[in-house]
Structure 1
Amino acid sequence: MAMAEQSRVEPTARKSTGAALLKGAAVLGVAAVISKVIGTMQKIPLQNMAGDAVFGIYNAVYPLYILILFLATAGFPLAVSKFVAEHAAEGRDHEARRVLRVSSVVLTATGLIFFLLLFLGADWLAWLMGTAQTGMAIRSVSFALLIVPVMSALRGYYQGYQDMVPTAVSQVVEQTVRVFTMFALLLLFVQLGRGPDWVAAGATFGSVTGALAGLLVMLSYDRRERGACTPSRSLQREMRTSVSKNRNESSWSLAGRLLRYALPICLGTIALPVLTLVDSFTVPRLLAAYGLDEHRALYHFGLYHHGQPLVALVSMIASSMSAALVPAIAEAKIKGDWDSLRNRAAMALRFTWLIGAAASVGLACLAKPMNIMFFDTAEGSSAMSILAYTALFSTLNIVAGSVLQGVGAVIAPALYLLAAAAAKTAANAALVPRWGIDGAAAAAVAAYALAGALALAHALRATGVTPAVGRTIKPLLCIGLMAIGVLAVTQGLPALLDALLVTVPPRGVATVVSLAGVALGAIVYALALIRFGVVTSAELEQIPALRGKPLVLLRRWRLLR
């Protein structure tokens, strides 16, 4: 009876089997992808509805919020999940709850401190950015810091029990409500005739309502769990005995241990937001030296970010690959299976190069039609074309960084990103006053190339993988053929539509060209990789969707050796 009651005390998904762990990781992974897609693609209708001045304010403020949020939570979600998992493994659920309570108090305090920093220092931060119009948006988003830290503690608690469903559901709900609020307030303020500062503040306020919705989801799961807790008297007595035996650690001591574990994690996670934030504090101010006033600077800063959603989608592919890569390499290292470690690392880095390089060249070739298709303007297409090459280096950095994490070099990727942030600051100062947002895009490529090169060199050394420089010729040839096919579409399809006297509005033409270019480019590149033997039959057989008839057809058409 006591055991039956005890099972009711535990969270629903305390499952330690390998299948449960994989299921939990899959649930969280799907939720993360959905959240990232929603968060990335909402930028396109935001620009379409609000214009590039508002888009510029939003993209200046949001990276600042993300950095402050990372500082406010200070790596606590991972720390909470670790401590809770340890207590759960020993059956001390009361101590796991105490970890949640102490972390919630600490995070509420840090959230309040950083809320005051953003709210009261909004005008000063806007002055540092060189854009006074960002002040209202900074104040608007600051209220999320009163909510998100506690939600993060709850997520860490459930993840400690390997219950990923509450986190996954809250992530999707948070992003959905955030986007809904953003567009509702955007429409309201546009209809009321408010200026860009008000409209941008409405857009950033979506982070507040989204966070509140996510917190309510987590609290509903927590309330449901506690409502199911009806331990028997013997179990209550057992819990009191366990508490008295393990309560010698004070809450202050527990808070100190949480902080000591969380702070190194925090230092590692802020590197990427710092790199992103460099643009917010340098580009608008440097555009003044390029000859633009504040309004035009924000407008051009919005144009500069046209390429970011597309690059982010490419990076998401690398992130999904890296999610499986870290445990696979860590497992090989623990077993001492260096051959498997080298093979896994080499294959991951090779496919990153094949995907990232092709994506960069394809986005660069299609920059103008995609700019018109998504943002209804050709302005900023040159910056978008240059920025496309960050897709290669950012994916390379993500995957090489995952390889390093798998072999235990956890801090190195963060240090390389911080070095890239310093390089981005210097390159912005040198290039933006001369070339405007094209200079900022070139600086971004240089910064990500530095981070990617450092991470790649370290990963090759750590795994013993020897780069096959001679094997880059055929992939480059395949990319060249792809580029020829894409350029043939961009140049020939509009002329063909004119010759056929087909009347299509410019945005419609750009949409047709973009979609046709992506489709033809992907087909040409895939066939070229197969025909030239860059991708082998054995590698394709590892992909379940290609086994059977697709491979038979490729061999029949003599495309596969």
Structure 2
Amino acid sequence: MMQGAVVLSVAALVAKILSATYRIPLENLVGNEGFYVYQQIYPLYGIGMTFALSGFPIFISKIIAEQESKEQKLAISKQLFLILAFFSVLIFGGLQLSASFLATLMGDKQLDALIKSVAWMFLLMPFLSVSRGYYQGNLQMVPTAISQVLEQIVRVFVIIMVAIMAVTYHWSVYKMGTLAMTSSFLGGLAAVIYLGKFFMQLNKPKIKSVVKYRILIQRLLTEGMMLCFFVSLMILMQLIDSFTIKNGLQSYGLSETVAKNLKGTYDRAQPLVQLGLVIGVSFASSLLPSLTQALEQNKQHDFKQKAKMVMKVSLGIGSAATIGMVALMPQINHLLFGSRALSEVIAIYVLSVIFMTIINTYSSMLQSLKEFKVLLWALFIGLVSKYCLNVIGLHFLGIIAASEATVLSLFFAVIYLMKASSIAVKDLIGEERFLSKLIISCGLMFVVTKMMANIIEMVINPGRLQSGVVLLLAIPIGAGVFVYMALKLKIFTPLEISNMPGGKKILKIVNNL
């Protein structure tokens, strides 16, 4: 399980780095307004990508893990493919027909062409979901990992080329956005071609069906959709932002142009959050099949041990990365995007990584335990809170309210999950002092990193390149402080450290000291 998590973590990290990297030249090339246009529709792509990359594959991997023979696994894969194909065509048609209506709700009618463009990627969802889910259900993470990286490479290449051509030929930001959105289909198509070998096996099994279609559809609409929505919870939050921020900022008293520019600047937080979520999502992707097998074999102790390990490692590393980004946000913002505008707003938004890490892990475990009502209510609480806080807060406080609304709504969802689920918090983090130790370590790291950044900036001019110098000097110091405190306070057990990437080397160094 842990080896699979590392494979997916590395692939997800590469993909997220690509995803963050293309946004930097994109924002620099097309400006805040061009970035606003792209980001308004990005959540629709993000939902489709999450369904095809993590949501449905995790659900399908669970069903595959339940089957005994290879023939049964292939037969049920074919059934799932036909069901998803039907739903993907419905989604595609719905987006094509409702594009103008959705664009109007977003407050910008010119976005309709972008919505129609991104709709094409949903036709690839059954191909990507079933093949990835089949491999993950057999604990083969490499095909998913390679297809993920390949998809992002093609997509990023298309987007950057479109951005360069848009600047060269002076295209409108809407034409640029429409053509950039075709990258989602082209990237997905490249991944489908790579995974094509799997589809040659689907007609081999003599068994036509393993489970009745009615039961599979029911599970898909409950377990599958629930998992998809939880994995794409941050994307759904961004979708709410697309419908509320521009309109809310105008009700706050800003002009349409200023509102577009502010929304584009606010969206700088998205690639940073994506990077922060890499570990949690990847561990959750590998976790479900193993948890399912542990439950099938009635190994409750193994179930708790695996869940506890993933929660502690994911939360610990995710929290350290998040607090580090918060401490250095002015420099990160300046280096990547050329200004320090809205650094405080972006820093607040990035805190959502910590809560999403907890939610992702809880979601995987509660799926295995079939506690779907708890997940449904947590999802409902999170999304309704986000919408209400956005609508009210934007009108009175401006753009900072959107970041605060995201963090608060996720916090409410986490509190509900902890209170309503059958899994006690102590079963996931072990000793009660784990959180206090983690807070102390992250807090000290924050103070030291912030002080170092401020001291360095007193010596050198705070320009864009100089911000890069500050980061190069401050990041290793901050990371060193966290590692030292984690070892000193014994936040993680030797077994947990050894299962981290590079953990065995760390243990050898510590043992030799």
Match of 1:495 among 458, 478, 489: 458
- Farther-moved stretch of structure 1 (482-491 vs 351-360): 351-360
Residue pair 1:330, 1:406 contacting (<8 A) in 2 also:
yes
Residue pair 2:245, 2:394 contacting (<8 A) in 1 also:
yes
Looking at CA atoms only, which structure, 1 or 2, has the larger radius of gyration? 1
Q: Name the structure 2 match of 1:502.
A: none
Q: Deviations over 1:419-452 (max 9, x none)?
A: 1011001111121122222110011110111122
SS of the residue 2:268 aligns to: helix
Residue pair 2:36, 2:260 contacting (<8 A) in 1 also:
yes
Match of 1:366 among 321, 328, 346: 328
386 and 323 in structure 1: CA distance in 2 versus 1, 3 angstrom threshold: same
Using the TM superposition, give the Cα deviation of residue 304 of structure 1 relative to its aligned residue in structure 2, in angstroms: 1.2
Pairs within 5 Å for 1:145-156: 145-156=122-133
Q: Name the structure 2 match of 1:129.
A: 106
* Residues 1:261 and 2:199 are matched in the alignment: no
Residue pair 1:74, 1:262 contacting (<8 A) in 2 also:
no
Pairs within 5 Å for 1:221-240: 222=199
- How far apart are the structure 1 equivalents of 2:4 and 2:435? 38
Residue pair 1:397, 1:456 contacting (<8 A) in 2 also:
no
Pairs within 5 Å for 1:282-293: 282-293=244-255
User: Size of the alignment, in residue pairs?
Assistant: 505
Residue pair 1:478, 1:525 contacting (<8 A) in 2 also:
yes
> In structure 1, what residue type is equivalent to 2:116?
R
* Residues 1:276 and 2:235 are matched in the alignment: no
Pairs within 5 Å for 1:36-55: 36-55=16-35
Q: Name the structure 2 match of 1:429.
A: 391
Residue pair 1:173, 1:214 contacting (<8 A) in 2 also:
yes
5+ residue gaps, structure 2, are: none
Q: Deviations over 1:393-423 (max 9, x none)?
A: 2222223333434544355335313310110
Residue pair 1:404, 1:458 contacting (<8 A) in 2 also:
no
Q: Name the structure 1 match of 2:270.
A: 308
Q: Deviations over 1:209-233 (max 9, x none)?
A: 112222333336645x69xx9xxxx
- How far apart are the structure 1 equivalents of 2:55 and 2:436? 43
- Farther-moved stretch of structure 1 (411-420 vs 200-209): 411-420
77 and 294 in structure 1: CA distance in 2 versus 1, 3 angstrom threshold: same
Residue pair 2:371, 2:421 contacting (<8 A) in 1 also:
no
163 and 375 in structure 1: CA distance in 2 versus 1, 3 angstrom threshold: same
Residue pair 1:370, 1:510 contacting (<8 A) in 2 also:
yes
> In structure 2, what residue type is equivalent to 1:263?
L
- How far apart are the structure 1 equivalents of 2:412 and 2:219? 29
> In structure 1, what residue type is equivalent to 2:469?
V
Q: Deviations over 1:279-301 (max 9, x none)?
A: 11111211111223333222211
- How far apart are the structure 2 equivalents of 1:531 and 1:87? 45
SS of the residue 1:269 aligns to: helix
Using the TM superposition, give the Cα deviation of residue 158 of structure 1 relative to its aligned residue in structure 2, in angstroms: 6.0
- How far apart are the structure 2 equivalents of 1:385 and 1:160? 37
Match of 1:218 among 191, 195, 204: 195
Using the TM superposition, give the Cα deviation of residue 30 of structure 1 relative to its aligned residue in structure 2, in angstroms: 4.8
Residue pair 1:300, 1:437 contacting (<8 A) in 2 also:
yes
Using the TM superposition, give the Cα deviation of residue 270 of structure 1 relative to its aligned residue in structure 2, in angstroms: 2.4
Q: Name the structure 2 match of 1:548.
A: 508
> In structure 2, what residue type is equivalent to 1:377?
S
Q: Name the structure 1 match of 2:148.
A: 171
- How far apart are the structure 1 equivalents of 2:114 and 2:295? 47
Residue pair 1:76, 1:103 contacting (<8 A) in 2 also:
no
Root-mean-square deviation (CA, aligned residues, Å) is 3.9
> In structure 1, what residue type is equivalent to 2:37?
I
> In structure 1, what residue type is equivalent to 2:457?
P
Residue pair 1:356, 1:392 contacting (<8 A) in 2 also:
yes
* Residues 1:483 and 2:463 are matched in the alignment: no
Using the TM superposition, give the Cα deviation of residue 28 of structure 1 relative to its aligned residue in structure 2, in angstroms: 5.7
Match of 2:169 among 178, 181, 192: 192
497 and 280 in structure 1: CA distance in 2 versus 1, 3 angstrom threshold: same
Q: Name the structure 2 match of 1:297.
A: 259
Residue pair 2:9, 2:279 contacting (<8 A) in 1 also:
no
Q: Deviations over 1:456-487 (max 9, x none)?
A: 34457447638755565554443332222112
- How far apart are the structure 2 equivalents of 1:440 and 1:528? 34
Match of 1:415 among 377, 380, 394: 377
552 and 328 in structure 1: CA distance in 2 versus 1, 3 angstrom threshold: farther
Q: Name the structure 2 match of 1:235.
A: none
Match of 1:527 among 462, 484, 502: 484
SS of the residue 1:548 aligns to: helix
Using the TM superposition, give the Cα deviation of residue 371 of structure 1 relative to its aligned residue in structure 2, in angstroms: 0.3
Q: Please give the TM-score of this superposition, normalised by the length of structure 1.
A: 0.77
